[in-house]
Structure 1
Amino acid sequence: MSIGKFIPIVDTIRTYDKKDLRFDFIAAMTVAVVALPQSMAYAMIAGVNPAYGLYSAIVLTILGSAFGSSNHLATGPTNAICLLIASYMAIYAGQGDFFATLFLLTFMVGAIQFIMGTFRLGSLVNYVSHAVIVGFTAGAGIIIAMGQLNNLLGVKLPDGHLSSIGKVIACFENIGTTNLVALGLGLFTIAVILLCRRINKNLPGALLGIIFSVMLVMLFDLEKYGLKMAGDIPQAIPPLSMPNFSLSAITDLASGSIVIAIIGLVEAVAISKAIASRTLQKIDPNQEFIGQGIANMGGAFLSSIAGSGSFTRSAITYQNGGKTRLAGVLVGIIILIVLIFFAPYAKYIPNASLAGVIMVVAYSMVDKKALVKVLKTNFNDAVVLLVTMFTTIFAPHLEQAIYAGVATSLLLYLKDSGVAGVRTLAPIQATDGRFVEQEINGERPSIAIIQLEGSLYFGSASDLEKKLSEAYGESKVYLVRFKGVSVIDITALEVIEAFINRGMADGNRVILSGVTPKIHRMLERMHVIKHIGEENIFTQEDEVFASSGKALEEANSFVRSVSYSVKERPIQI
C-alpha cells in the first residue's frame, strides 16, 4: 500500500506542479501575517505566555498539513480550544508542573484523535449537531470577550482563579482604576482592524493594529503608564518539552481531553468539508482525525498547546489561491523565521492590544446569520442552540455545555421518533375507475387500510399500540401496509402481532402488504406467518402499488364471500 495514503504530503511532493508554488507561497505569507497576532492572542485565552501560541502555530500547522486530508485546513491554536484549555488547566495554575501537565493534555488530545482515526470513527462527529456547534461557538465568543475585559481596561484583578462572570464583576467593582492608556491602545487596535476590513478584507488588520501599537509604545515610552506587556519571547525554535505522564494527571485530564479532542475534530472536519464543497476535493474524515492526532501528539514534545482547524486561516488559504497542503507547511516555516529574527520586538506588545484583537475575534465567533437561521428554521434546533449557548456561559465547566447540547438533541430526537407513523385509510373508487385512498372519518368501511410509516421501534411501540387500537373498529378486513418502514424491531412487531391476533379472534381478516424480505424473516421467526397464513402476506414488489393492489384484491374477495347487511360494493382494482 502506498506510503502516501498514510503520509499525504509524500504524494503532494511527488506530484507537485511547480506552477503551484507561487500560489502556495502567497497564501502562506498572507496566513502567517494573520496567524502571528492570532496565535499570541489565543495563547492568552489559554492562560499561557503568547510564545506558546507561536510554537503551536509552527508545529501544529506543519504536522496537520502534512498528515491531514484537506489541502486547505490550517491547524493551530483556535479560540474555542484555547478556552477549553484554560478551563481545564485553571486548577494547575501556579504549580511547578503546570507546563508538563499542559503538554500532557496536548498529548492526550492527540492520542484520542489518532486512535479514533485509526479505528475509522470519523462518522462520530455527525452526532454533534450543527445547532450544538453554533450555540457553543456563540457562547464561547461571549465568554472570551468577558474574560478579556480586564486586559482591555487595564484593570488588575484580585489574586486567584475567577470565572469569566467573576472577572466582569471584578472589573466593574474596580472600574475606577481603569488604565486609560491601555484602554486607548485596545480601542485603537480594534479601530485599525475594522478600518482595514472596510478598506480591503485581505489587509492584515490584526497584525497592523499590533505593529502600530508597538510603534506607539516605543515612540512615546508608554510603558511608564503601567501598561502590562506580552513579555519576552525566546528567540529560538520551539523548545523540546516532556509531558507529565503521571497516572493521577492522566486520570484528572481524561474527561477534558476527550471533550477537547471531539470539539477539535468537529471543527476540523466541518471546516475541511466547507472548503471542499468549493474545491471539490474528497475529504477523508478518518485521515483528518489521524492528522489532527499526529499534530497534537507531536506538539506535546515541542512546547505546543492543543489546537484544531482554524476557519479564519483555512479560508484565507483558499481565498488567496493556496493549491496544496504545502501552503500550510510554508505557514509554519514563515512563522518560525519570524520567531527567530523578530522575537525581541514582541516584548513591546501591550496586552491591551492583544485584548483588542481577541475582542474582535470573540465578536466574529457569534455567527449572527447562523443563529437567526437556526432559531427561525426549526424549534428543536433552536432549543438545542439556546441550551448549549447559555450552558457555555453559565456552567462552571465548558464540557457541560457540549454534554447538555448533545443530550438535549438526543432527547428531542427521541421525543419525535417516539411518535409512530400510522394512517388509517379507506379505499374509495374514483369516477375514472381508479381506486384512491382517503382518511377515515366517521363510519368505518368494510376494508380499512392501516398504513405504517417511518421508524417503528421500542421507543414508538407505546404510540403504535395506541394508534392501532384507535384504528380498530367495525371493518371486516384490515390491510396493514408497511410503507417506507425504515426501521422495525421485535417490540414493534409484537404490537402488530397483538393487533393481528385481536382481528383474527373477532373473525376478521388481517392482510399484510409491502412486506420486505427483512420483515418477512422476522415475522417468520416469530411464527406470525404460520399463524396468519402465507396467503395473507404480500411482499414488497418493484412495481408501485403492486403489493397493495394484490392485497386489496384479496380483501375484496373476502368481503364478497362474507354476508352482511351494509350496502357497499367491492372496490374495483
Structure 2
Amino acid sequence: MNILKFVPILDTLKSYDKKDFKFDLVAALTVAVVALPQTMAYAMIAGVHPAYGLYAGIVLTIVASSFGSSHQLATGPTNAISLLIAAYMVPFAGQDNFFANLFLLTFLVGAIQFLMGVLRLGSLVNYVSHAVIVGFTAGAGIIIAMGQLNNLMGIKLPKGHLSSIDKVIICLQNIDKLNYVAFGLGIFTIAVIVICKKINKNLPGALLGVIFSVVLVMTLNLEKYGVKIVGQIPQAIPPLSQPNFSPKAIADLSAGALVIAIIGLVEAVSISKAIAAKTLQKIDPNQEFIGQGLANMVGGFFSCIAGSGSFTRSAITYQNGGRTRLAGVLVGVIMLLVLIFFAPYAKYIPNASLAGVIMVVAYSMIDKKALVKVLKTNRNDAAVLLVTMLTTIFAPELEQAIYAGVALSLILYLKDSGVAGVKTLAPVRVSDGRFVEQTINGENPSISIFQLEGNLYFGSASDLEKKLSDNYSDAKVFLIRFKGISVIDITALEVIESFINRAQSDGKRVMLSGVSPKIYRMLEKMHIIDHVGSNNVFMEEDEVFATSGKVLDEASSFVRNIGYSTQERTVRA
C-alpha cells in the first residue's frame, strides 16, 4: 500500500514547492487571527471555558489538515457543532465526570466519522439535503444569538439548564438590571467588526474588537463595574485528557455523537466541494471523513471539544492565497505559540466582548441569499427549510430538527416519486406513410399506446394501476412501451401483468415494445412473455423509433384483419 495515499500531508511535503510557502504562511497568519476569538467564542456556546475551544483550534486543525482531502478546509470548533455539544452535555452538567464525558463525546464523534470513511460511506451525506442544512444553520444562528443575550447585557441568569427562549424571557424581565458598561463593550466589539468589514474584508475585526476591549478592561479596571471576564487560561500546550470509556457513558452519548458526526461531515464535505469548485481540486469525501474522524479522535485525548470544517476560516484560507494543506498545519502551530506566550493577557477578555463576536457570527450564519433562493425555487425545499428552522428554534432537543428535516425531505421525495410516468397515446399515419403519435383527447382509437417512463417501483405501483385502469378503452390493441423505463420492480410488473390479463380476457391483443434485454429477462421470469406470446414482444433497437414502427405496423395489420373478418361474417349472415 502507498502510505502517501493515506497520509496526504506526506505527499504534500514530498512534492512541496517552496514558492507556495509564503502564500500558505500569509493565509495561516490571517486565519489564526480570526480563529483565536472565534474558537473561544464557540467554546462558550458549547458551555465550557474558552480554553477548550483554543485547544480544539490547535489540535483539530493540525490533524485534519494532515489527513483530510481538501487543501483549504480549516477544521476546529464551529457554531452549529458547539450548539449541539451544549445540548447533549446538559444531563452531565455539574457532575464530577463532566469533562471526561465531554472528551468521550469528542472521541465518539471522531470514531464514527473515521469508521464511515473506512467503510467508504462518503455518499451518505447526500441524503441530508441543502434545504435541511440552510434551515438548520439559520435556526442555529437565531438560537445562538438568543443564548448570548444575557452575556451581551451583563445580566446574571439563575443556575440550571435554560433554553435560549428562557434566557431571552429572563433578560427581558430583568431589563432594569442591564449592565451598561458590559453592554457598551459588546456593542463596541460589534461596531469594530462591522467597520473593519466595510474598510477591508481581510481586516481581523473580531480580533481587533477583542484586543481593544481587553485594553479598556485593563486600563480602566472595568471589573469593578461588574464586567465579567474570561479568567485564567492555562499557559501551556493542550493538556492530555482521559475520556470516560464506561459502557454507560458510551450508551448515553452515542446517539448525540452520531448526529454531531453526520452534521460535521456534511459541513466539512460541503465546504470542501464549494472551494474545490474554484480551485479545481478533486475532493475524496471518504478521505475527508477519515481526516475529520482522526482529528476528533485525537482531540478527545487533548482536552478538545468536537469540531468540523469552518465556513469562515476555510473561506479566509482560500481568499488569502492558501495553496496546500500545510496552511492548516501552520494555523495550529501559530495558535499554539500564541497560547504559550500570550495567554496571560487573554484572561482579561470580557464575556460581553466575546458575546459581541458571537452575535456577528450568528447573524452571518443566516445565509440570506440561500434562504431566498430555496424559498422561491422549490415548494418542497421551502417546506423542508421552514420546518427544519422552526424545529431548531422551538424543539426541546436540537437533533430533532435534523430528523424532522431529513424525514420531511424523504416523505416529499417519496410523494413525488410515487407518481408513475404514463403517457396515453394513439398512432396516426401521416401522408408519407409514417406513424406519428398524439395524446388521446376523448377519442376511442383502435390502437392505444401506454408509454411508461422513469422509475416504476412499489411506491408508484398504485398510481400506475390507477392510470392503466382509468385509460382502459375499447381499443383492439394495447401497446405497452418500455423504452422510457430506467428502473422497474416486481410490484410494478404485477400491476402490468394484471392489466394484460384483463385485456386478454376481453379479447384484446397486448403488445410490448422497446423491451431491453434486462427487462425481457424479468418479464420472462414473471411468465409475462408466455402470456402475451413472444411474437408480441419487440426488443429495443439502436435506431430511434425503429421498434415503434415495427410494432405499429403489426398492430395496424391486426386491426385491419379484424375489420375484414367482421365484414365477412356480416356478408355470410
The TM-score range, normalised by the shorter chain, is over 0.9
Runs of 4+ in 1 over 3 A off after TM superposition: 430-434, 564-567
Aligned letter for 1:301?
F
For 1:570, the equivalent position in structure 2 comes to: none
The alignment yields a C-alpha RMSD, in angstroms, of 1.2
Separation of aligned partners in 1, 2:181 and 2:522: 76
Q: 1:432, CA displacement in angstroms?
A: 5.0
For 1:35, the equivalent position in structure 2 comes to: 35
Q: Deviations over 1:403-425 (max 9, x none)?
A: 00000001001111111111101
Separation of aligned partners in 1, 2:423 and 2:376: 29
| Stretch moving more, 527-536 or 357-366 | 527-536
Q: Deviations over 1:349-402 (max 9, x none)?
A: 000000000000000001010000000000000000011000000001110000
Are residue 49 (structure 1) and residue 59 (structure 2) matched? no
For 2:570, the equivalent position in structure 1 comes to: none
Q: 1:437, CA displacement in angstroms?
A: 1.5
Q: 1:100, CA displacement in angstroms?
A: 0.3
Aligned letter for 2:156?
K
Instruction: Specify the SS of the correspondent of 1:483.
Output: strand
For 1:357, the equivalent position in structure 2 comes to: 357
For 2:76, the equivalent position in structure 1 comes to: 76
| Stretch moving more, 145-154 or 544-553 | 544-553
Q: 1:436, CA displacement in angstroms?
A: 2.0
Separation of aligned partners in 2, 1:537 and 1:103: 65
Q: 1:93, CA displacement in angstroms?
A: 1.1
Are residue 224 (structure 1) and residue 207 (structure 2) matched? no
Aligned letter for 2:550?
K
For 2:411, the equivalent position in structure 1 comes to: 411
For 2:571, the equivalent position in structure 1 comes to: none
Q: 1:223, CA displacement in angstroms?
A: 1.0
Aligned letter for 1:277?
A
Q: 1:341, CA displacement in angstroms?
A: 0.2
Alignment map for 1:449-468 (pairs within 5 Å)? 449-468=449-468
For 2:156, the equivalent position in structure 1 comes to: 156
Separation of aligned partners in 1, 2:187 and 2:219: 19
Alignment map for 1:20-31 (pairs within 5 Å)? 20-31=20-31
Instruction: Specify the SS of the correspondent of 1:348.
Output: coil
Aligned letter for 2:495?
V
Asked whether the equivalents of residues 90 and 161 of structure 2 are also in contact (C-alpha less than 8 Å), the reply is yes
Q: 1:158, CA displacement in angstroms?
A: 1.0
Separation of aligned partners in 2, 1:408 and 1:149: 32
For 1:132, the equivalent position in structure 2 comes to: 132
Separation of aligned partners in 1, 2:472 and 2:304: 67
Counting matched residue pairs gives 567
Q: 1:451, CA displacement in angstroms?
A: 0.7
| Stretch moving more, 540-549 or 299-308 | 540-549
Are residue 485 (structure 1) and residue 485 (structure 2) matched? yes
For 1:329, the equivalent position in structure 2 comes to: 329
For 2:200, the equivalent position in structure 1 comes to: 200
| Stretch moving more, 212-221 or 198-207 | 212-221
Separation of aligned partners in 2, 1:95 and 1:484: 62
Asked whether the equivalents of residues 451 and 484 of structure 2 are also in contact (C-alpha less than 8 Å), the reply is no
Aligned letter for 1:282?
K
For 1:265, the equivalent position in structure 2 comes to: 265
Aligned letter for 2:206?
A
Separation of aligned partners in 1, 2:566 and 2:172: 82
Aligned letter for 1:535?
N
Alignment map for 1:152-301 (pairs within 5 Å)? 152-301=152-301
Alignment map for 1:414-425 (pairs within 5 Å)? 414-425=414-425
Separation of aligned partners in 2, 1:279 and 1:147: 37
Q: Deviations over 1:202-246 (max 9, x none)?
A: 000000000011111111111110111111100000000000001
Q: 1:502, CA displacement in angstroms?
A: 1.1
Instruction: Specify the SS of the correspondent of 1:463.
Output: helix
Separation of aligned partners in 1, 2:300 and 2:363: 30
Separation of aligned partners in 1, 2:345 and 2:382: 47
Give the TM-score taking structure 1 as reference length: 0.98
For 1:562, the equivalent position in structure 2 comes to: 562
For 2:379, the equivalent position in structure 1 comes to: 379
For 2:495, the equivalent position in structure 1 comes to: 495
Q: 1:430, CA displacement in angstroms?
A: 3.4
Q: 1:519, CA displacement in angstroms?
A: 1.1
Separation of aligned partners in 2, 1:230 and 1:513: 75
Q: Deviations over 1:146-190 (max 9, x none)?
A: 000000000001111100111111111111111000100000000
Aligned letter for 2:241?
S
Q: 1:435, CA displacement in angstroms?
A: 2.5
Q: 1:484, CA displacement in angstroms?
A: 2.2
Separation of aligned partners in 2, 1:22 and 1:566: 92
For 1:147, the equivalent position in structure 2 comes to: 147
Aligned letter for 1:417?
S
For 2:531, the equivalent position in structure 1 comes to: 531
Q: Deviations over 1:320-370 (max 9, x none)?
A: 111100000000000000000000001110000000000000000010100
For 1:111, the equivalent position in structure 2 comes to: 111
Aligned letter for 1:198?
K
| Stretch moving more, 193-202 or 481-490 | 481-490
Asked whether the equivalents of residues 435 and 549 of structure 2 are also in contact (C-alpha less than 8 Å), the reply is no
Separation of aligned partners in 2, 1:455 and 1:158: 57
Separation of aligned partners in 1, 2:278 and 2:143: 32
Instruction: Specify the SS of the correspondent of 1:103.
Output: helix
Separation of aligned partners in 2, 1:461 and 1:564: 38
Instruction: Specify the SS of the correspondent of 2:483.
Output: strand
Aligned letter for 2:183?
L
Instruction: Specify the SS of the correspondent of 2:510.
Output: strand
| Stretch moving more, 15-24 or 499-508 | 499-508
Aligned letter for 2:166?
G
Separation of aligned partners in 2, 1:41 and 1:293: 23
For 2:397, the equivalent position in structure 1 comes to: 397
Separation of aligned partners in 1, 2:177 and 2:434: 85
Q: 1:307, CA displacement in angstroms?
A: 0.2
Instruction: Specify the SS of the correspondent of 1:491.
Output: helix
Aligned letter for 2:144?
I
Separation of aligned partners in 2, 1:3 and 1:457: 44
Separation of aligned partners in 1, 2:484 and 2:266: 32
For 1:571, the equivalent position in structure 2 comes to: none
Q: Deviations over 1:61-107 (max 9, x none)?
A: 00000000000100000000000000000121111100000000000
Separation of aligned partners in 1, 2:207 and 2:29: 12
Separation of aligned partners in 2, 1:432 and 1:206: 76
Q: 1:564, CA displacement in angstroms?
A: 6.9
Separation of aligned partners in 2, 1:421 and 1:29: 57
Instruction: Specify the SS of the correspondent of 1:416.
Output: helix
Q: 1:2, CA displacement in angstroms?
A: 1.0
What is the identity percentage for the equivalent residue pairs of Structure 1 and Structure 2?
A: 77
Q: 1:483, CA displacement in angstroms?
A: 3.2
Separation of aligned partners in 2, 1:483 and 1:221: 80
Separation of aligned partners in 1, 2:389 and 2:335: 34
For 2:517, the equivalent position in structure 1 comes to: 517
Give the TM-score taking structure 2 as reference length: 0.98
